[in-house]
A = this chain, B = another copy of it.
């Protein structure tokens, strides 16, 4: 358990610890033979500098905090977190993951705690009621922060996210082109910024196609399987002519599939589905978690290292057609 430290090295070589430190940092005011002997002993004893002592000096921890609004159970967020972790790992940073569990109060507590831990930066997926003032205070104190996925107006930090309007536009247009006319929209909850974007794209596709648009085909829903099933059942009851549905998230698709199975229907014969970010057989809008994770970690590194960073990266998603959609005959 006892780690060897710089003093041990110095003592064994009969030199000062300052010399050892300088040797390790390859300073010019240390002789070559001294450097060589230090390096050799370091190798032998498997010495590595204590991160905390260094952090205390540099006021840098080589630690980045990832603070998410939700629970990481979503495959998309899990992949974003993973990509960020790997990217930052390559630059010598470790990541600390924390969840605010959709609570603005917890979010604050976590950020404060991270600040005392001298985090070098934060990647924040804001929750619904993020305290913009508080976050901006942190930023103006010089802490480096980027926000991801959930755009919150007024935060003075770079944002990296998906162009949901385009995503939903692509999905809806595809279904319209395939002959569908009654396309349901299982939209996200009203508190999510993305919900409005989805609706914008969905509607635009109808308008562009010159097909009559009905509000009754849209229903709001939490990102939750059980709620999604209920809302789908309601939507189906009210729109028995519906031949396709566009879901705002993976959890919703699962609820819908459950409802479809219960009704004895089948996909895609009776109903086509396009959702967001599914990796299964469902046709979906691919949110490009890898790109978002990369852009977010790059933006944060740029901020930390004092480079210029654009304030918005909107990543266009991609429509991936799998086996949950079919063409139907025009009436």
List residues of A whose CB falls within 8 A of some B CB: 1, 3, 48-53, 55-56, 61, 63, 71-75, 78-79, 81-82, 85-86, 89, 94-99, 101, 112-113, 115-118, 141-143, 225, 253-254, 257-258, 260-262, 266, 268-269, 279-281, 322-324
Q: Which residue of B lies closest to A77 (CB)?
A: B78
Min CB gap A118→B, angstroms: 6
Collect the chain B residues with CB atoms within 8 Å of residue A55's CB. 52
Asked whether, in the complex, the Cβ of A52 is within 8 Å of the Cβ of B48, the reply is no
What residues on B are CB-neighbors of A75 within 8 Å? 73, 75, 78
Assuming A78-B72, A79-B73, A86-B99, is B94 touching A48 (CB within 8 A)? no
Nearest residue (CB) in B for A324 is: B261
Do A72 and B61 touch across chains, with their CB atoms under 8 A apart? no
Determine whether the beta carbon of B56 is less than 8 Å from that of A81. Answer: no
**Alpha-carbon distance A261/B331, docked complex (angstroms):** 25
Contact B86 A79, beta carbon cutoff 8 Å? no
- In the complex, A261 Cα to B95 Cα: how many Å? 40
With A82-B71, A99-B82 given, is the CB distance from A118 to B280 under 8 Å? no
Assess the A280–B266 pair: CB atoms within 8 A. no
Name the contact of A116 in the complex, choosing from B51, B71, B258 (C-beta under 8 A).
Answer: B51
B258 and A51: CB pair below 8 A?
A: no
Q: How many Å lie between the Cα of A3 and that of B101 in the bound state?
A: 27
- Copies of the protein in its oligomer: 2
Given A56-B56, A117-B94, A262-B323, A141 and B1 contact (CB-CB distance below 8 Å):
yes
B94 near A94: Cβ-Cβ < 8 Å: no
Known pairs A254-B280, A323-B258; A95 contacts B97 (CB<8 A)? yes
19 residue pairs from A and B, CB less than 8 Å apart: A1-B141, A1-B143, A49-B116, A50-B116, A51-B117, A52-B55, A52-B56, A71-B79, A71-B82, A72-B78, A72-B79, A73-B79, A74-B78, A94-B96, A94-B113, A94-B117, A225-B280, A257-B280, A258-B281
Distance of A257 from chain B, by nearest CB (Å): 4
Top 10 nearest A-B pairs (CB, nearest first) are A261-B323, A1-B142, A254-B280, A78-B78, A257-B281, A72-B82, A52-B55, A48-B116, A52-B52, A258-B281
Q: Tell me the complex Cα distance, A266–B97, Å.
A: 40
Looking at the assembled complex, report how far the CB atom of A319 sits from the nearest CB atom of chain B, in whole angstroms: 17
Residues of B within 8 A of A73 (CB): 75, 78-79, 82
Bound: A50/B260 CA distance, A: 55
Distance (whole angstroms) from the CB of A37 to the closest CB of chain B: 22
Q: From residue A171, how far is it (CB to closest CB) to chain B in Å?
A: 18
Q: Are A253 and B266 in contact (CB under 8 A)?
A: no
A280–B261 Cα gap in the complex (Å)? Answer: 11
Q: Which residues of B contact A52 (CB under 8 A)?
A: 52-53, 55-56, 61, 117-118
Beta-carbon contact of B78 and A112 below 8 Å: no
Kindly provide the distance from the CB of A1 to the nearest chain B CB, expressed in whole angstroms: 4
Bound Cα distance A280, B257 (Å): 7
A175 nearest CB across to chain B (Å): 17
